[in-house]
Amino acid sequence: MSADEQKRIFDGWIDQHKGIIFKIVRAYAFTPDDQDDLFQEIALQVWQSIPDFRGDAQASTWIYRVALFTATNRVRREKRRPPTQWLGTVEHMLTARDVRQDDQVAWLYEQIALLSPIDRSVCLLLLDGFSYKEIAALLGISESNVGVKIHRVKQHLLHRSREVSNHGV
Amino acid sequence: MEFEEMQAIWDSQNEEKLYAINEAALHEQIRRKGRSVERKVDILEGIMMGVNLLVAIVLTVDAVIDGEPLRFYLIPAAYFAYFIVGLVWRMRRSRAQVQFEPTMVGDLDKAIWQIDYLIRQTRAMLIWYLIPLLVFIILVLGWGNGSLWAALLALVVIPLAYFGGRWEVNKFYLPKKRSLESLRATLLEAETM
């Protein structure tokens, strides 16, 4: 694959599917610097994955997988090593726009952030309407295993939602 | 709130408007860092193999020109053997890379395999490269050839490289491998239920 072709595919993917990457960035990184770092890392992994893409899956599913793996892997790394502080000026790739964020969406992201990195992946896929079968195929695990994880995720979200209702928030 | 309501809230968001991408900076970053780990390993392996082959040829030609006895061909033969081993490893690695499924478990398996490959390569280099090299240097010294200072320097540098390599494996590669395996186990935790 030529570099030009790779760049053309990359630009098209980022343009069409940036929403997927933004959701994952927001679910796995919580400060502007971390979100910028994670976005860069995902973009790089997406770029490197392009020559392996055979078109067997949809591009959106492929990007979802690459981005979730990168985000999960980053959380794993940061458990072992505290994040490094930036020294000097760094050029940011991702800038938060001054858009009013829905409180309920923000609450949902807060609850997702409380899940383990793997359950977070399952939760994002579930909320984005992926079926059990699709989640199983994307993660490479059995549908019954997906069922166990989805049950746990739903229990967590419903429990937190009841807590909020009971406290009149 | 029921789960279906949460899904409706989720669907209502428009993340695309939340961030702006600095495309010029992103392309620059891709240009600088876009070379994959596999390509870097490919290049490193290529350099190692090239150096081994070059040293083998130069030492053989040198021994032929000087009319050295047969024992002086041992070192170039060893370097040629390292070149062949490198070639075989490279072919085995290329074949193994194809086997990983395009799933998250497959991605984890690939990451674990790459770490394992680095561990095996480092350990093999320690055992099959540094130790024989040390033995050869001692032998060459015993035959009364070579500079004593160069040999003494090698006797310090080689053990340092040996223990440094072991430290690298224990400090970085093994913990990384264990944490990837733990992530994989979490992903597969309910597979046997």
Residue-wise pLDDT tens digits, B69-120: 887 788 788 888 888 988 888 888 777 766 788 888 998 998 898 888 888 8
* CATH class of the domain whose range is A100-169: mainly alpha
Mean pLDDT, chain A, whole residue set: 86
Amino acid type, A48: Q
Whether A97 and B20 lie within 8 Å, measured CB to CB: yes
Confidence at B190, pLDDT banded by 50, 70, 90? low
How far apart CA A141 and CA A122 sit, in angstroms, is 11
Supply A55's token pair.
């078109």
Quote the pTM value.
0.76
Look-up: residue for tokens 């597969």?
B188
Question: Is the CB of residue A165 less than 8 Å away from at least one CB of chain B?
Answer: yes
Range among B22-26, B56-60, B153-157 with highest mean pLDDT value? B56-60
pLDDT of residue B67: 84
- The amino acid that residue B178 corresponds to is R
Q: How confident is the model at residue B34 (pLDDT cuts 50, 70, 90)?
A: low
Q: Phi-psi region for residue B146, left (φ > 0), alpha (ψ -120 to 50) or beta?
A: left
Per-residue pLDDT band at A81 (split at 50, 70, 90): low
Residue B37, pLDDT above cutoff 90: no
Tally C-beta pairs within 8 A across A and B. 146
CA-based nearest distance A93→chain B, Å: 5
Give mean pLDDT, residues B159-179.
Answer: 87
Instruction: For CATH 1.10.10.10, list the domain ranges present in chain A.
Output: 100-169
Scan residues 85-144 of A and list those with Cβ closer than 8 Å to B. Answer: 91-97, 99, 101-102, 104-105, 108, 116-118, 121, 127-129, 137-142, 144
Beta-carbon count within 10 A of B182 CB: 12
Amino acid code (one letter) for B67: G
User: Per DSSP, what are the bridge partners of residue A95?
Assistant: B20
Q: A30 — contact with chain B (CB < 8 Å)?
A: no
- B-chain residue closest to A74, CA distance: B180
Compute CA distances A66 → A20, A70, A139, whole Å: 11, 6, 11
Kindly state the percentage of chain A with pLDDT values over 70. 89
Nearest CB to A127: which of B10, B21, B188? B10
Model pLDDT, residue A147:
93
| pLDDT band per the 50, 70, 90 thresholds, residue B145 | low
pLDDT of residue B150: 66
Nearest-CA distance A139 → chain B (Å): 4
- Among the partner residues B6, B34, B106, nearest to A140 by beta-carbon distance: B106
Which positions in chain B touch A65 (Cβ < 8 Å)?
A: 102-104, 107
Confidence of residue B147 (pLDDT cuts 50, 70, 90): low
Residues forming CATH 1.10.1740.10 domain(s) in chain A: 1-98
Tell me how many degrees the CA angle B46-B49-B52 measures, rounded to the nearest 5.
Answer: 150
> Which residue bears the tokens 């490269």?
B129
Q: How many CA atoms lie within 13 A of B64 on its CB side?
A: 7
pLDDT given at position B159: 81
In words, the CATH class of domain A1-98 is mainly alpha
- Point out the least confidently predicted range of A27-31, A47-51, B157-161, B172-176: B157-161
Q: Compare all CA atoms of chain B with the CA of A8 and give the residue at the minimum distance.
A: B27
Q: Computed over its alpha carbons, how large is the radius of gyration of chain A?
A: 17
Q: How confident is the model at residue A86 (pLDDT cuts 50, 70, 90)?
A: very low
Give the span between the Cα atoms of B26 and A7, in whole angstroms: 12
Task: Find the Cα–Cα–Cα–Cα dihedral B168, B85, B133, B145, rounded to 10°.
Answer: -150
The percentage of chain B sitting over the pLDDT mark of 90, rounded to a whole number, equals: 3
